[in-house]
């Protein structure tokens, strides 16, 4: 059962230059964009050939990014969710489950196909992060910031694979994403911090352990 869309969330229409910047950051550095970019980067680094990197990256990005965001956009067009960031907590149940199921299916397919271990490990760590986020959001009725989770996880994963300089280079983006979620009143400081903690733990601890 889904909650009908009731209009744009507070802070997402009109506003000052500060709010316009926050909306731009939230949209440009959305989870779908960062996840796809990260998976392609790791696939390019880990695969032995460019062709395999492209194929593995496409499968991984489709499972963890393209399919979930496609489902969400379709729901927005049909009036099931308020917006493509699904800012209303009660509306997140199905989108998060679809994202979890799709990402898990991608993990299984990549593992069965013998994809490079770092790619399989990374997408598996995404499954773990979603498996933690869903019950907190739906059962504990507390809206974990997926934007912050993905932004922090991206920084951590890049640090694991490419070293500290790569992580430091993207840190300002992650900080900006976290700020934007608070500035738009889409999340509290606590929800952003918990999301960032889950993402950093999944990508910074679980990912290298599986890889």
For the stretch 43-74, pLDDT in tens is: 999 999 999 999 999 999 999 999 999 999 99
pLDDT at residue 1 tops 60:
no
* CB-CB contact of 36 with 65 (8 Å): yes
Mean pLDDT of 24-50: 97
- Residue 129 pLDDT: 97
Mean pLDDT of 129-146: 93
What is the 3-class SS of the chain, one letter each residue? CCCCCCCCCCCCCCCCHHHHHHHHHHHHCCHHHHHHHHHHHHHHHHCCCHHHHHHHHHHHHHHHHHHHHHHHHHHHHCCCCCCCCCCCHHHCHHHHHHHHHHHHHHHHHHHHCCCCHHHHHHHHHHHHHHHHHHHHHHCCCCCCCHHHHHHHHHHHHHHHHHCHHHHHHHHHHHHHHHHHHHHCCCCCHHHHHHHHHHHHHHHHHHHHHHC
Please compute, for residue 99, the number of CA atoms within 13 A of its CA located in the half-sphere on the CB side.
Answer: 27
Model confidence band, residue 140 (pLDDT cutoffs 50, 70, 90): confident
pLDDT at residue 35 tops 90:
yes
Give the largest CA-CA distance in the chain: 50
- Residue 53 pLDDT: 97
What is the b/e burial string over 17-43, where b = at least 16 CB atoms within 10 angstroms of the residue's CB? Answer: eebeebbebbeebbbbebbbebbbbbb
Please compute, for residue 74, the number of CA atoms within 13 A of its CA located in the half-sphere on the CB side.
Answer: 9
- Residue 173 pLDDT: 95
Handedness of CA 107, 41, 24, 184 (dihedral sign): positive
State the pTM of this model. Answer: 0.90
pLDDT at residue 104 tops 80:
yes
- Residue 139 pLDDT: 87
């Amino acid at each position: 059962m889904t909650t009908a869309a009731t209009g744009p969330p507070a802070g997402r229409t009109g506003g000052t230059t500060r709010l316009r910047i926050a909306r731009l950051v939230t949209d440009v550095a959305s989870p779908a964009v960062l996840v796809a970019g990260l998976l392609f980067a790791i696939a390019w680094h880990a695969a032995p050939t460019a062709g395999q990197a492209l194929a593995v990256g496409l499968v991984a990005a489709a499972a963890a990014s393209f399919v979930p965001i496609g489902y969400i956009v379709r729901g927005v067009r049909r009036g099931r969710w308020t917006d493509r960031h699904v800012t209303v907590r009660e509306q997140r149940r199905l989108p998060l489950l679809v994202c979890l199921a799709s990402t898990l299916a991608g993990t299984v397919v990549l593992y069965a196909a013998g994809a490079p271990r770092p790619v399989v490990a990374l997408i598996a760590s995404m499954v773990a992060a979603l498996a933690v986020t869903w019950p907190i959001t739906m059962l504990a009725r507390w809206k974990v910031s997926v934007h912050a989770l993905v932004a922090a996880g991206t920084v951590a994963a890049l640090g694991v694979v490419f070293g500290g300089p790569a992580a430091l280079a993207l840190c300002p983006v992650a900080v900006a994403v976290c700020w934007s979620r608070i500035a738009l009143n889409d999340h509290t400081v606590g929800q952003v911090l918990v999301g960032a903690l889950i993402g950093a733990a999944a990508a910074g601890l679980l990912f290298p352990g599986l890889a």
